[in-house]
Amino acid sequence: MDEFAFIQSIRPAYLHQKSLIQGIDDDAAVFRPGNRDVVTTVDTMVDGVHFSKDTMEPFHIGYRALAANLSDLAAMGSVPAFYLVSLVVPKDYSHEELKGIYEGMKELAEAYQVDLIGGDTVSGKELSISITVMGYVKIGEARYRSHAQAGDRIFVTGTLGDSRGGLELLLNQMDSSSEAAAYLIQRHRQPSPRVRFAASIHDIDRLALNDVSDGIANEANEIAAASQVDLHIENNWLPCSQALAALFPNDSQEWMLSGGEDFELLGTVAEENWQAVQAAADELHLPIHIIGQVEEKAKEFGQVILHKNSEAAVLKKSGYTHLKGGE
Amino acid sequence: MDEFAFIQSIRPAYLHQKSLIQGIDDDAAVFRPGNRDVVTTVDTMVDGVHFSKDTMEPFHIGYRALAANLSDLAAMGSVPAFYLVSLVVPKDYSHEELKGIYEGMKELAEAYQVDLIGGDTVSGKELSISITVMGYVKIGEARYRSHAQAGDRIFVTGTLGDSRGGLELLLNQMDSSSEAAAYLIQRHRQPSPRVRFAASIHDIDRLALNDVSDGIANEANEIAAASQVDLHIENNWLPCSQALAALFPNDSQEWMLSGGEDFELLGTVAEENWQAVQAAADELHLPIHIIGQVEEKAKEFGQVILHKNSEAAVLKKSGYTHLKGGE
């Protein structure tokens, strides 16, 4: 396909960001941040590794790829502004399929007023999609993993493990006619980056945030390591959707810890600010739950301790636990 | 390979950019542009399409991929500051090879004080490398293709067609022991983005710039279309290196027009500013040549006219010419 013709076919009809000076028509794009910090990250997904045409329409592939990136910006407390897309496309991929990928990104981009400002489309053996996003945050107000402190409440938005449940339904071609199954599949294919929630709590002084891409076992460990604190998580407080509990009663526990790709936000906040966090989530009709508390580290490094009934175990990045003290 | 361990192994020992607030240790990087515009672009190269292990060491693959991106920033008059790298790596790729790619990028990044601020490495069937770069430019001073005006001198830095000559030597395993051959191969594997030159002429009010990635036939047409002017180019003024003329006397003419990947800068500037442009190039010991003049468009759209002896022909994007008026 003629790359130029394709770019014309997917170029945004309308640009949302007033700070954009030059879009996709020159060697590079130009924007004017003014008195704001810029937040940026890149994420790449490859066919057969991160998604499959068996479980995703092109539309979902595009939607989910951009959602994963916007989720990273949300976890920095940043409001997304721009994205650039690089696609490697196999020769047998049709123009319709390619357009489907862009349509998926576009739907999400419209919802969050994010402008496409660059990218390229090149030929290759397998489909891969690499997205770079850029967002703004007030000077010095980015949220870091290293900002957790002893005494903080640990919270998580939404529910956990749903995306993994949806994937399982699709992979095993299980009955997807129920409302519960449709819900889990939707959560897998079209996750909701918590951009608005993160933006709505920007006036809270200190907050550690991380987005749930690999599972909270992993993300909690990242916060513990970066902040040099212990995160104590109550297993029974982990939020499980009714759909997941109903369809996967035996797996929900493991998937909530290590399922990943829910793109919810895991955070810690001072006790006195918890009510403001909860009020912000309520305003957006976004479920939010306290799942534990931050304490001083017991060893030389920060760890995650999972409490279950009267037992406590160290929770590893993988989601694997072993009895506390057995280290 | 453990992605985290790999990132640690290639992380920059020293950061150059004072505006960088947070590097590669969180969900995203954070930087503070202050009173400057940000310029950004992405470019992707795929094994077998844009490069080959037969003609490039991993070091060169990395070097050239970043060079192509920095060249885009130079063409915007922007000083590069940051880059993010996304690599899709086949399983049979060794750690050493992967490190070679990063070493190639690192050498160029050090030379231009560009900091690595993000990226990911994922598995796939074929090697592909996607780089996003970001640079700064003074408010409102970016250089656009649309800024050419009738009466402008057309200039090009360096010499043309060398990269194509180097590729030909490598593809056909020709004798590369001569100084001329080594020169062309070097120009193909390690092109020099004209970042310093572009920065050194920043006080000239108006300048159209485009970098030579596809060949000046293509780039000149982009300027003509964006500026709605005709670019008249004198064939005999096109700059040819002694090396290319000596080794490829029969091909040099075609390759200067459509060879591409020289990553020189093609520009147009008002006659009264030409001396300042030339002085800036001289200061950097960078050859620079006038190759023609901009005129009002003769038709409803801008075109490129190639003059050769007493004949004139329309030069198409591809480098193909046909007699003027035959349209």
Contact state of A145 with B26 under an 8 Å Cβ cutoff: yes
Phi/psi for B285 (5° steps) reads: 55, 35
A48 and A182 inside one domain:
no
Q: How far is B311 from chain A (nearest CA, A)?
A: 31
Report the complex ipTM: 0.93
Domain check: are A100 and A220 in the same one?
A: no
**A40, A43, A125 member nearest B29 (Cβ):** A40
Q: Residue A289 forms beta bridges with which residues?
A: A156
Mean pLDDT of chain B: 93
Between CA A272 and CA A276, with CA A273 as vertex, the angle to 5 degrees is 130
Place of tokens 């006397």: B249
Looking at the fold, whether A187 and A287 belong to one and the same domain comes out as yes
Domain that holds residue A128: 3-138
Structure tokens at B98: 């992967």
Share of residues in chain B with pLDDT > 90 (%):
84
Block mean pLDDT (10 aa), chain A, length 327: 61 86 91 97 92 91 97 98 95 91 95 94 93 97 97 98 96 92 97 97 96 96 98 97 97 94 97 98 98 97 95 90 56
Same domain, A254 and A287: yes
Is residue B234 a part of any domain in this protein? yes
CATH number at residue A279: 3.90.650.10
Residue B249 forms part of a structural domain: yes
- pLDDT for A326 equals 41
Considering the domain architecture, whether residues A131 and A159 belong to the same structural domain is answered as no
* End residue of a domain, out of B138, B170, B195: B138
CA A10 to the chain's CA centroid: 25
Tell whether B272 and B132 lie within a shared domain.
Answer: no
Same-domain pairing of A185 and A282: yes
Whether residue B122 is contained in a domain is answered as yes
Helix locations, chain B, DSSP H: 3-10, 58-74, 95-111, 162-171, 179-189, 195-200, 216-227, 242-247, 252-258, 274-283
A188 in the same domain as A70: no
Question: Helices in A90-215 by DSSP H: which ranges?
Answer: 95-111, 162-171, 179-189, 195-200
In terms of domains, do B127 and B266 share one?
no
Q: What is the CATH number of the domain that holds B28?
A: 3.30.1330.10
Q: Take residue A98 and report the two structure tokens written for it.
A: 């390619």
Q: What is the pLDDT of residues A218-257, one digit of tens each?
A: 999 999 999 999 999 999 999 999 999 999 999 999 999 9
Q: Which of A26, A85, A123 lies nearest to residue B49, judging by beta carbons? A: A123
Amino acid at B242: Q
- pLDDT recorded at residue B161: 97
Q: Do the beta carbons of residue A158 and residue A264 sit within 8 Å?
A: yes
Residue for token digits 């309308």? A14
Does B326 reside within a domain?
A: no
Final residue belonging to a domain, choices B138, B154, B178: B138
Which of B89, B106, B138 corresponds to the end of one domain? B138
Asked whether the beta carbons of residue A40 and residue B22 sit closer than 8 angstroms, the reply is no
Query: Would you say residue B59 lies in a domain?
Result: yes
pLDDT tens digits, A254-279: 999 999 899 999 999 999 999 999 99
Tens-binned pLDDT, residue by residue, of chain B (327 aa)? 455 566 666 677 778 999 999 998 889 999 999 999 999 999 999 998 888 888 999 999 999 999 999 999 999 999 999 999 999 999 999 989 999 999 999 999 999 999 999 998 999 999 999 999 999 999 999 999 999 999 999 999 999 999 999 999 999 999 889 999 999 999 999 999 999 999 999 999 999 999 999 999 999 999 999 999 999 999 999 999 999 999 999 999 999 999 989 999 999 999 999 999 999 999 999 999 999 999 999 999 999 999 998 899 999 998 777 666 544
A158 shares a domain with A122: no
**Do B209 and B128 share a domain, yes or no?**
no
The verdict on a CB contact (< 8 Å) between A124 and B46 is yes
**Spatial distance between the Cα atoms of A258 and A238, rounded to a whole number of angstroms:** 12
Give the gap in angstroms from C-alpha B73 to the nearest C-alpha of chain A.
Answer: 7
User: Same structural domain for residues A103 and A165?
Assistant: no
Domain count, chain B: 2
